[in-house]
Amino acid sequence: MIEIDDVSRLYGGVPVVDHVTLTIQPRTICVVVGTSGSGKTTLLRMINKLVNPSSGSLRIDGEDIAGIPAYELRRRIGYAIQGHGLFPHRTVGQNIATVPKLLGWDKAKTADRVDELLTLFQLDPQAFRDRLPHQLSGGEQQRVGVARALAAKPNILLMDEPYGALDPVIRAKAQHDLLAIQRKLGTTIVLVTHDMEEAIQLGHTIAVMAHGKLLQSATPTEIIGHPATPFIAELIGSSERPFRLLALSRVADHIEPGVAEGAPIDADASLRDAYADMLWSARSAMPVTRHGEIVGRLTLDALAKLAARPQ
Amino acid sequence: MVLGKSGQAARATRLVTVIGVSMSLADTADAHARPTWLALDKLGVLIAIVAAVGVVLPFALFRANRIVPGETIMLPAALPLPLVFLLAAVLLAGFVAALLRWPAWLKLATGFVVLATLFVLVGLAASYLTPEGETFARVSPGAGFWVLAFAFALLVTDALTRLRLRPQYRVAILVAVILAMALLLWSGLWNDLSMLKEYASRAQAFWSEAQTHLLLAFGSVATAALVGVPLGMVCYKVRRLRAGVLNVLNIVQTIPSIALFGLLIAPLAWVAANVPGAKAIGISGIGAAPALLALFAYSLLPIVSNTVVGLLGVSPAAIDAARGMGMTRWQRLLAVELPLAFPVILTGIRIVLVQNIGLTTIAALIGGGGFGVFVFQGIGQTAMDLVLLGAVPTVALAFAAAVLLDALVDMTARGARP
């Protein structure tokens, strides 16, 4: 658990982070959203002491980080940034081994961990271990950057606009992979982005910041349904609200008994995909399959109710 | 009719494209009209003009003894007739290779053949022109030889640049050239050339001065690197120090070299006289100590500024990542910043080494020794051959150092290039 307690940071008397209090539950993804200059990156960098707070305190699992030497704390926390920050003169394997080496792991254990992470990120260890960063594509560099951040099995992973430099297709895949890896490892992730779409897609909780202040911290459903300020509503976009809400739920949770005509949809798909499919094929209901077997149907009426503003 | 014409033109363009893979080089409309192997090379035209001037200038210089003004000897008279024809044929091939857009490796090979022929034949010309049993007569290469050698050396370096060879191959070519020169000197083909006659009468001094020269040039660069790189690191970390240190070094750099050598005489003489033990370790007002100190002072600016620039050029994302992963200041410096800045630092050392090999000649003025001894003796005696005995090895040494360190810079720039 990360507890940010009434934390401020001033530069030349001007608060960049202004009395922020935020608690991040273990094993969840918290996405901090804001425009540039909102203080979101500064807030993130205070968690691993790259920036020290002017006032207030931060605790990790109850321990005040002020008492932990910065380099020691940072080795316990994964750190992935935009533009990956890979060391250009070191191979992929050496890059990933950075923190294990700092912690003094033995060679065999480090090598095993490097191969394990490369495999986890769908990069063939044989082919990628000895390559240099400039020989990789942007998406591959980004994956190596995250693999490096996870090398020493940290409980916490900090990510600063990790997908900012990727094209939309690769970004979608990277986001999907991150969710799968987070579920598998149970890492607590704090991710900073300016993209509300990304925040809704990834976050268990979303913290919206503007001018150094925390405006709202809540679940995506809550943020979409009840934005605390007009600014947040603007970030979400009024015409997008119902569809973003639908995108949060899966078909599996809203299956009704009965039959329907036409091509079926998988129970794992999002309601948004189901809705688009139904509109496109001009149907009012569609069959739902799980593992290839029809288990029920989904109706347009039900979707319309689900897309309405939550009470 | 109109259609037919444009069709023909299109076909012709296609044909040219098929013949010449390196069409991108032939960018003028004129070049498109000709087959590529006939197209003119822009730099080649310049080389050919320079070489043509070299042909009509005297090939050799004959003097009755080492200090009288000599008589010039044109190319046809400098060699036995068959060799004149051989040289003419080789030079003709060289002209063609320079002028036309041949592949770079062909230009390179032809350039080396021309240079080798020139070098061997100038030695033979010396033997041919020296009267039998005459020991005072001197034959030296004339202006024509130097201009020709310059022109085809240009052809070779241009071809090497275009080939973009890997650093290992460039070093291999350098070693091959050094071996060829050693073979030429060892074979005795050049023994009748005036420069080697000067060498023969002072062989022992030549090698001891060579040793001094190397010691001064490399010693000053090594000490400057030992001091300059840490100083550069401090200037990088402490921003307030940066401008001050670099400005002071800039001023040192602007002092004329002869003046700096001279200025150091007085303070060092004082040190030698008043600091106990200073004299014992070789410090004195004249000699190697002030020379070393002056060369050291000149070397500092390029090394310090390149260290600062190199460190400033390290990707901020890499430094942020290094901090964020828990590297300490020292770990960051040693594992990330210095390795990434190293090629730039090495470039600074390369500049200084080449500069100091040349500058060391001036050390002879204050009794520092080195190849400059022959240069200044030669000037004093108006014996140009003696000047060359000092100047040619200096140039060769500087050139070899430049090639070697350039290759080293390329080899260390692993992954640092985008």
Average pLDDT of the residues in B22-26: 42
> Within a domain: residue B31?
no
The amino acid sitting at A311 is: Q
- The tokens 């203080």 sit on which residue? A39
**pLDDT above 90 for B146:** yes
* Inter-CA distances, A186 with A28, A157, A268, A283, Å: 8, 11, 21, 40
**pLDDT above 70 for B417:** no
What is the reported pLDDT for B21? Answer: 39
**pLDDT above 50 for B11:** no
Same domain as B178, residue B147: yes
Residue of A nearest to B326 (CA): A71
H helix or E strand, kind and range, residue A10: strand A2-11
> Within a domain: residue B2?
no
What is the reported pLDDT for B134? Answer: 76
Confidence of residue B251 (pLDDT cuts 50, 70, 90): confident
**pLDDT above 80 for B232:** yes
Please tell me the distance from the alpha carbon of residue B332 to that of residue A276, in angstroms, as a whole number: 51
What is the reported pLDDT for B414? Answer: 64
What is the reported pLDDT for B33? Answer: 56
Q: Any CB–CB contact under 8 A between A102 and chain B?
A: yes
What percentage of chain B reaches a pLDDT higher than 90? 48
Please tell me the distance from the alpha carbon of residue B355 to that of residue B360, in angstroms, as a whole number: 9
Same domain as B305, residue B330: yes
Q: End of a domain among B159, B193, B227?
A: B193
> Within a domain: residue B386?
yes
Confidence of residue B346 (pLDDT cuts 50, 70, 90): very high
Same domain as B238, residue B159: no
> Within a domain: residue B310?
yes
Q: How many structural domains is chain B composed of? A: 2
> Within a domain: residue B306?
yes
**pLDDT above 60 for B1:** no
Average pLDDT of the residues in B110-129: 92
> Within a domain: residue B316?
yes
Q: Where are the alpha helices (DSSP H) in B20-132?
A: 29-33, 42-56, 75-78, 81-99, 104-129
Q: Any CB–CB contact under 8 A between B417 and chain A?
A: yes
Q: Based on the number of CB atoms within 10 Å of its own CB, is A239 exposed (0-12), middle (13-18) or buried (19 or more)? A: exposed
Q: Any CB–CB contact under 8 A between B211 and chain A?
A: no
What is the reported pLDDT for B32? Answer: 52
Please tell me the distance from the alpha carbon of residue A292 to that of residue B1, in angstroms, as a whole number: 67
Same domain as B184, residue B213: no
Which of B321, B335, B414 lies at the smallest CB-CB distance from A79? B321
Which of A74, A84, A88 lies at the smallest CB-CB distance from B324? A74
pLDDT in tens, B149-195: 999 999 999 999 888 888 889 999 999 999 999 999 999 889 888 88
pLDDT in tens, B51-84: 999 999 999 989 888 778 888 889 888 889 999 9
What is the reported pLDDT for B35? Answer: 64
Mutating which of A98, A101, A144, A190 best tests the B interface, going by the most B Cβ atoms within 10 A?
A: A98
Q: Any CB–CB contact under 8 A between B321 and chain A?
A: yes
What is the reported pLDDT for B19? Answer: 40
Tell me the torsion sign for CA atoms B151, B153, B157, B163.
positive
Same domain as B315, residue B177: no
H helix or E strand, kind and range, residue B350: helix B338-363
What is the reported pLDDT for A166? Answer: 86
Average pLDDT of the residues in B268-289: 78
Please tell me the distance from the alpha carbon of residue B316 to that of residue B321, in angstroms, as a whole number: 8
* Inter-CA distances, B78 with A161, B57, B108, B119, B399, Å: 76, 12, 27, 14, 30
Q: What is the ipTM score, two decimals?
A: 0.86
Between the CA atoms of B126, B127, B129 and B133, what dihedral angle is there, to the nearest 10 degrees?
130
> Within a domain: residue B122?
yes
B410: domain CATH number? 1.10.3720.10
- The tokens 């008043």 sit on which residue? B274
Residue A144, token pair as written in the block = 């190596």
Please tell me the distance from the alpha carbon of residue B369 to that of residue B212, in angstroms, as a whole number: 6
What is the reported pLDDT for B5? Answer: 43
The amino acid sitting at B369 is: G
Please tell me the distance from the alpha carbon of residue B191 to that of residue A11, in angstroms, as a whole number: 77
DSSP-derived 3-state class of residue B326: coil
Confidence of residue B20 (pLDDT cuts 50, 70, 90): very low
By residue range, what is the domain housing residue B44?
A: 36-193
What is the reported pLDDT for B350? Answer: 94
| Beta carbons within 10 angstroms of residue B108's beta carbon | 22
Q: Tell which A residues from 59 to 98 touch B, by Cβ distance under 8 Å.
A: 70-76, 79, 81-90, 98
- Is residue A230 within 8 Å of A245, Cβ to Cβ? no
| Beta carbons within 10 angstroms of residue B132's beta carbon | 4
How close, in Å, is residue A26 to chain B by CA atoms?
21
Same domain as B130, residue B228: no
**pLDDT above 50 for B418:** no
- Is residue B363 within 8 Å of B369, Cβ to Cβ? yes
Chain A residues close to B321, C-beta within 8 Å? 79, 81, 84-87, 145
Regions of chain A with pLDDT less than 70 = none
Confidence of residue B15 (pLDDT cuts 50, 70, 90): very low
Residue of B332 and B15 predicted with greater confidence: B332
Q: Is the CB of B326 less than 8 angstroms away from the CB of A90?
A: no
Which of A75, A85, A134 lies at the smallest CB-CB distance from B320? A85
DSSP state of A195: -
Chain A residues close to B317, C-beta within 8 Å? 81-85
Q: Is the CB of B317 less than 8 angstroms away from the CB of A85?
A: yes
Average pLDDT of the residues in B3-13: 44
Residue of A nearest to B341 (CA): A89
Please tell me the distance from the alpha carbon of residue B35 to that of residue B25, in angstroms, as a whole number: 13
Same domain as B60, residue B180: yes
Which of B325, B335, B415 lies at the smallest CB-CB distance from A79? B325
Q: End of a domain among B161, B193, B225?
A: B193
